[in-house]
Each structure stands twice: as C-alpha cells, then as structure tokens.
Structure 1
Amino acid sequence: MVQLAFSTNAFTRYSLPEAIRRIADHGYAGVELLGDTPHAYFPEFDDDERTAVLDALDETGLEVSNVNANTAMGYYDDAPPSSFFDPSIVTANDGEREWRVEYTKRAIDLAEVTDAPAVCVATGRPLPGNPPDRAYDYLRDSLHEILDYAEPRGVEVGIEFEPELLVECTDEVLELIDDIGRDSLGINLDIGHAAVYGEDLTETIHRSEGHITGVHLEDIEGGRRGKHYHLIPEEGDLDFGAVFDAFDDIAYEGFATLELYTYPDKPDEAAKEAYEALSGHV
C-alpha cells in the first residue's frame, strides 16, 4: 500500500526540525528531507543539527521517505536559475564534479542515520563545452563511485529524470539502469516530470516496476505536455486515480512524496490541501 509523505522543500521559511513537526500535523506518514539550504546543506550541516532532526523524527514518529539531493543551491552566494543543478554529477570540471559526488555521499550518510531507504539525484545538464556523450561518461563514473558508497550502507540511489536534463525521460533512465547494471540504482519517479515530457503515466509506472526507489507527486496544468510548475493535486489536470491504480497494479508499497516547493508562502495550507486531495487514494 502506498503511503503519503511530504517534502520539507515547501517549508524553506522554517528550520528542518520545525518543518518535520509541521508536516506531521497534517497526517502524513513520512517526510522527505531537503538536502540543501536552508535545511541540510551538507558542508554546513553539523552534528547538533543532525541530532535535532533525529529528535524531531522521534517526537513525531514520521519515517523518512527520501533524502532529496537533487540540488545544491547552497553552493552559490546567489544561485542563478540557469545553474540550478550545478555542480552536477556530469559537470565537466573534475573538481566541481567530485565536489558533487562527495556531496551526494553526505546525503547518503543522512539517509543511513535516519533510516531513509534512498536518496534522489538529478543528472544535471550537459552545458556548453560538455557534449552529451562525454557528460554520459562522467555520469557513469560518478554513479559507480556513489553506489560503491551507498551499497554497504543499505541506501538506494534514485535518478530523478526531468525534461532538459541529461536523463530526461523513462526510456533514458531505464537505459541508464541497464547500462550501470547495479540493483541499488533505481528511479525516483516524479509523476509531473513524466507528464511534462508527454508520457502516459500509467505506462510510465508499469515500465518502472521493480526500479522505483521513491515517488514525487504534484499536479501539472495541461496534463501531458503541460507546463512544468508544481501544483497542489486537483489544481491541475493529472488523473491521480489512474496514477494510484497503476501503483496498485505493480504492487508498489513505498512512499509517494508531495513535492510542493512552489508554495513557500503557504506550506501548511499546501500540505493540508494535498493530503485531503490524495488521502482517499491510499
């Protein structure tokens, strides 16, 4: 049976422990931890902050659905939108790419200590001067190093595909998983990303069977080929009944995490409305 979680990336006006407590107030079984500023930006995330997170989890009884290591906005003093994923695990600069690999290892450390099943990672973009074929070689090397670190710690790594990234659709992520050939690599399946790319969501879920490390949920205006802007369920055009039926078809029993970072001004309202919209499906 699918369980609902909510990502702390909607609660960036609050500390990470406070975000956890607020999410628990809305009935969720799980919480996704944002591995970035202002929550767990790993170069600055210390033992006291980790202890405070563990205390909040113990107090609320929430499970951690995933550690979200897709971005590293804290790397910049003033993060430019065009570099949202950079440095990435495909960045051409060796030092910057290794920085991102080490950053991902710290996300794995947080997943291990909080008993999270997985971390999610985005591939980033092949920027000018870094052709896709070369970027893919960097991706392979980075993933093997990350997986070497994750596997003994019992943490899976889910690639979150997204339009315009190096890995942007189900075909490409399944090809990557086959190429890497390691059971600990899977898919953090963002339903909205698949919809924006133009995929049939039922087919996407069925094809992802056995590879899903976690799920991100949000609504999308326009449905398939719609605009990539995360909306509260029932404010867009996605058919969540069909989505949850497909999860039932493949007997997926993990978390489905609402990712509504687009509502920093009203995260509690977003969490409440999203839970009310989807709780009948689980």
Structure 2
Amino acid sequence: MKSAPLDPEVFYVQKLYYFFFLITLSFMTGVICGWRFGWKAGVLAFLVGLVLSYLAMLFKKSFALPDRKIVAKRMAKEISQAASPLVIARFASQLYYYLKEKDRAIALLEQFLPSCDPLVCATLAEIYLREGKSRKALSVLHDNPYALANPLLLATQAHILRQNGKTAEAVKLYERSLRLAKGAGFPHNGAHRLTQALLTISYTASIHHALADCFLELKDTTAAEKHYRAGNRLLVDISLWRSSKPRLSRLSAKSFTKSS
C-alpha cells in the first residue's frame, strides 16, 4: 500500500507517535525483564529498546494509508454531526490526500470559502499550490481578511511567493508568521491537544527552515544558519535537521519545508 502524500509537518508528528508507541513497548519489556531477571536487566532492556526505537523512527520513511471506506465513513459521520468550517477543512483534506478526489475537495472548500475561516482558506490554497495553480492560491489567500493576521495564512503566502522567485517578500511574511505564532499559535484543526501542540512545533520548525533557505538564496549565510539551528532545536528527529553546510544537510532525508 502506498504511503500518504502528507505535508512533512504532519509526517513528523506521525513519526513522533510511532516513536512514543515503540517507547511504550520498550518500557513494558523493561518492566517484564526487571520483574523476571532483576532491575539491572530491566533498565538495560529499556535502554536498548529506547535506542532501537529512536533508530526505527529515524529510518521510518512512510506510513500506510488508512482504509478508504473507514476514512469516508468517519468523515461522513463528523459532517452529519456538525458541518463547521473546521470539519469541512479536515474532510476536504481527507478527500484530497487519501481518497484522491481532487475536484470534490476543491468544490467543498470553495463552497465554504465565504466563511473566511483561515483553515479552510489555507487548505484550499495548499491544494491549488499542489496542483500548480499558484496564482489562484495566492488570490484565495489575499481575499481572506485574516491574510496578514494569521500565521498559517502568512506562511502559506510565503511558500507561494518563494516558489515564484519573490524571496525577499517571502522572508517578511515568514518572519511575521513566526512572530504571530508565538502569541496566538496556529489555527486549531480539531486534533487532540497533544497532537495540536506537536503540529505547532512542527510548523514552527518548518518556517524556520524555510526562512533559512530564503536567506541562503539571498546570500546571508549567518542568518540562514541561525534559523537552521532554531528549527533543528525543535525537532527530535535528527534526520530532519538542516544546515547551510552541504555535508551536514545530507543528514536530512528530505527537506522539512513545503516550498522545497
């Protein structure tokens, strides 16, 4: 089964939960070994499991797609209970990423676009961008009244500007996005509090890395390295660390930005 083409920020959170699951198994193994062979054996078993769990997370490259029928039933149930912009944005994402129904996803988001919900707007813009319609994506974002006041909308605009070669303008939006995210955070997507917190960290790291890439393009290596380090400090997975030095950048299996 093919893996889901999710954003790297979401993929990172999936890797963290995978790591947490493996740590739990390691802890249980340690407890059993400690009970059976003594506390030293238990601690050793847990530490070995911890190291192996971390390595497994580093080398994890994809996750299996959920069953299409299960996804459809779950999202249909959520919509029947409350067709809020938040639920619509999530359902459209499921349609696009999992069920491969691009036209339905776009039509659904366009229907709720007048609500001016930042998550609906950002989701639609992201889909347009993935479909190669950067101008349309930028137009959708500019028409939103929160375009310059929401960190997610700002970051999405910056991705598009950078893709269109307007790096200096993208830097300003990325920096503004980071400032706003520190205060208000990113829009809530209906996920559990822990997942939302992890996504916030993940998106913040992504913006730092995107900013660093922009500064590299502008030949400002010092600023680039500063933001690479800032992004790296937020990531437990060192395979996603970035650097302005080519040798160190190869530690990253894949660029941790949407714009790359």
Q: Could you say which TM-score interval applies, normalised by the shorter chain?
A: 0.3 to 0.5
Q: Normalised by the size of structure 1, how large is the TM-score?
A: 0.32
Of Structure 1 and Structure 2, which has the larger fraction of its residues in strand?
Answer: 1
Q: Normalised by the size of structure 2, how large is the TM-score?
A: 0.34
Of Structure 1 and Structure 2, which has the larger fraction of its residues in helix?
Answer: 2
Which is greater in Rg?
2
